[in-house]
Amino acid sequence: MEYEKELEIGVRVVQLACCLCQKIQKGSFGPNPDLVVSKLDDSPVTVADWSVQAMISWILSESFGRENVSIVAEEDTQTLSDVKSTSLLASVVTTVNESLAMAPRFGLNGPTAPLEASEVLDAISRCNSSGGPVGRHWVLDPVDGTLGFVRGGQYAVALALIENGRVVVGVLGCPNYSSKRKLVNNSSAPKSDLWQEGCVMYTKRGSGQAWMQPLVCGDGTLEWPNSASVIQVSSIDNPVMATFCEPVEKANSNHSYSAGIAYSLGLRKQPLRVYSMVKYAAIARGDAEIYMKFAKAGYKEKIWDHAAGVVIVEEAGGVVTDAGGRPLDFSKGVYLEGLDRGIVACSGVNLHEKIIGAVYASWDSSHL
């Protein structure tokens, strides 16, 4: 029963976080442009990013003891602490407290009194671990695919646990990825179904299985683990029939090189371009067979963009390595150091070997 409590708390808190995100998208998010701001690197961040990070940080600390919890996460408080961000911080505090008030419905303990702004900022700031090869570190991307969230497309809440450099628990909440419908390009759930359509996928290392639950927002109560079903990767190993995923954004991904690899392999379907780690989720549940990402020179992959998705795909029967065929190394800190050219995730060994071979055959002439 190793990691059983960590997995259960992880699923419950990600379910709650997904409902927080849905509430923001459905209600306060639309009419208030101040809820989306730019960070110093010009990437977007929203009230949802900070609110999810604060809420998950607080619950993990309450569940396992603050002194025992190390969290590596994407957001900091620099923008929120700015004197000009008073209304933004107030929105985050309100959202966090509204979410924590729902915690008992998800089998979690909330605070006895609403959190103050200083407590919310403290919860966000505590997520400042750099990880590493020793000890336990939670890895969180509060809203993976913020552009997808802003534009009404796919996004994910990604939480993983790394122990001694190895991902041992992965939970991936996909609020706009229907538990009953296949994924399509940049898809979002129909507005009328927004509160019921999402799903949460999860696993623990060594289980040999991954599971999926529908989201429980609205007035539902989370039934753990009775509402879960087992998911498996696709059995398709013929490239002609395979579905291929890649990022939407061109800034950190070379679409033309991926297209060349796809052509050389005989992939005939148009690539499924989707925001966030939902691409890993699509492979884990059999909606796609291949995910390739080849970053442009100088870009470094961050562990929170991959940890949860990698372990879920692997336990669902898939294969994930770098483009040289080596396992991804989560022991080096915030970044996937030593990554060989790119990342390749597949539903099976046969497809994986063909892709790795195509990369070796074409890389020298790629100019990447």
Bridge partner list, 321: 344
Residue that the structure tokens 């990767």 belong to: 233
Question: Is 141 annotated as ligand-binding?
Answer: yes
Q: How far apart are CA 62 and CA 208, in angstroms?
A: 30
Q: Quick one: tokens of 164?
A: 């001694």
Our answer to whether residue 340 is catalytic in this structure is: no
Between the CA of residue 352 and those of 232, 262, 275, what are the distances in Å?
Answer: 16, 12, 22
Which residue type occupies 360?
Y
Quick check: 56 and 123 in contact, CB under 8 A? no
Question: Is 122 annotated as ligand-binding?
Answer: no
Q: Which one of the listed residues 46, 77, 95, 146 is annotated catalytic? A: 146
Between the CA of residue 23 and those of 29, 262, 297, what are the distances in Å?
Answer: 8, 39, 38
Pairing between strand 272-273 and 229-231? Answer: unpaired
Question: Is 74 annotated as ligand-binding?
Answer: yes
Which residue type occupies 199?
C
Number of other residues whose CB lies within 10 A of the CB of residue 279 = 30
Bridge partner list, 171: 159, 202
Question: Is 287 annotated as ligand-binding?
Answer: no
Number of other residues whose CB lies within 10 A of the CB of residue 6 = 21
Quick check: 168 and 207 in contact, CB under 8 A? no
φ and ψ at residue 183, rounded to 5 degrees: -80, 145
108 Cβ contact partners less than 8 Å away, ≥ 6 residues apart = 9, 12, 13, 16, 59, 63
Our answer to whether residue 146 is catalytic in this structure is: yes
Q: How far apart are CA 84 and CA 97, in angstroms?
A: 22
Quick check: 212 and 228 in contact, CB under 8 A? yes
Angle at which helices 117-125 and 47-64 pack, to 10 degrees?
A: 80
Q: How far apart are CA 254 and CA 272, in angstroms?
A: 14
Residues of each annotated binding site = 74, 141, 144, 305
* Residues annotated catalytic, as ranges: 49, 146
Residues of each annotated binding site for Mg(2+) = 74, 141, 144, 305
